[in-house]
């Protein structure tokens, strides 16, 4: 053991005078070749992995673009369908008001066909209720149409004074 003058530690040193044998050189070369082959295989694997990642990134970008286009198309179709639905509901409302003239126009309302149908049913019920009420009121106050029939006046039950007054009145006199 020699003492290292730089750091003051003792170290064991292998003798440097050993000569490399041809077997050692061959073994080292074989080991070096194996390591180079392993390194080459790893580099090829890295290149293949990078290519796969690049392909997947390209595919992801392609799919994101397709998704974006599909969303835009879906939004356009949704807007078109909403507009068509609104037009249909408006036409249905107009037809419902036309086909139900006994129901006041402001009672038939709605944003959907179902709401319009419900308002028509409510309107029909209201009209039926009002009609029934008016019919019952009309039947209570029945008055025969026109003047009573003319007939001969019955003198029965009249006093002689009433009979004389009636006769003078018929002749245009004063009673």
Share of the chain above pLDDT 90, in %: 62
Q: What is the pLDDT of residues 146-167, one digit of tens each?
A: 666 666 777 788 899 988 888 8
Whether residue 58 lies inside any domain: the answer is yes
Residues 175 and 169 sit within 8 Å (Cβ to Cβ): yes
Q: Does the structure show a pLDDT above 70 at 143?
A: no
The answer to the question of residue 174 being in a domain is no
Q: What is the pLDDT, as a whole number, of residue 65?
A: 96
Residue 76 placed within a domain: yes
Other beta carbons within 10 Å of 82: 10
Per-residue CA distances from 153 to 147, 149, 163, 166 (Å): 16, 11, 11, 10
Query: Residue 11: inside a domain, yes or no?
Result: no
Instruction: Calculate mean pLDDT across residues 105-123.
Output: 95
Share of the chain above pLDDT 70, in %: 81
Domain that holds residue 63: 23-80
Contacts of 9 (CB under 8 A, 6+ apart): 3
Tens digit of pLDDT for each residue in 18-76? Answer: 567 888 899 999 999 999 999 999 999 999 999 999 999 999 999 999 999 999 999 99
Residue that has been written with the tokens 């003047």 in this structure: 147
Let me know how long the chain is. Answer: 175
171 in any annotated domain = no
42 lies in some domain? yes
Number of structural domains (the chain) is: 1
Q: Indicate whether 140 belongs to any domain.
A: no
Residue 18 resides in a domain:
no
Q: What's the rounded mean pLDDT across residues 90-100?
A: 96
- Residue range 114-139: mean pLDDT, rounded: 92
Q: How confident is the model at residue 1 (pLDDT cuts 50, 70, 90)?
A: very low
């Amino acid at each position: 053991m020699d003492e290292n003058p730089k750091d003051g530690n003792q170290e064991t040193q292998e003798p440097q005078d050993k000569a490399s044998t041809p077997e050692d050189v061959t073994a080292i070369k074989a080991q070096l070749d194996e390591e180079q082959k392993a390194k080459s295989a790893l580099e090829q694997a890295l290149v293949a992995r990078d290519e796969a990642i690049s392909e997947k990134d390209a595919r992801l970008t392609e799919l994101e673009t397709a998704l974006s286009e599909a969303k835009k198309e879906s939004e356009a179709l949704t807007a078109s369908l909403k507009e068509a639905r609104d037009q249909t509901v408006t036409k249905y409302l107009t037809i419902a008001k036309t086909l139900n003239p006994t129901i006041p126009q402001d009672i038939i309302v709605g944003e959907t066909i179902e709401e319009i149908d419900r308002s028509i049913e409510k309107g029909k019920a209201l009209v039926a209720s009002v009609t029934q009420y008016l019919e019952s009121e009309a039947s209570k106050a029945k008055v025969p149409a026109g003047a009573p029939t003319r007939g001969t006046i019955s003198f029965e039950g009249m006093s002689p004074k009433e009979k004389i007054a009636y006769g003078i009145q018929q002749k245009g006199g004063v009673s």
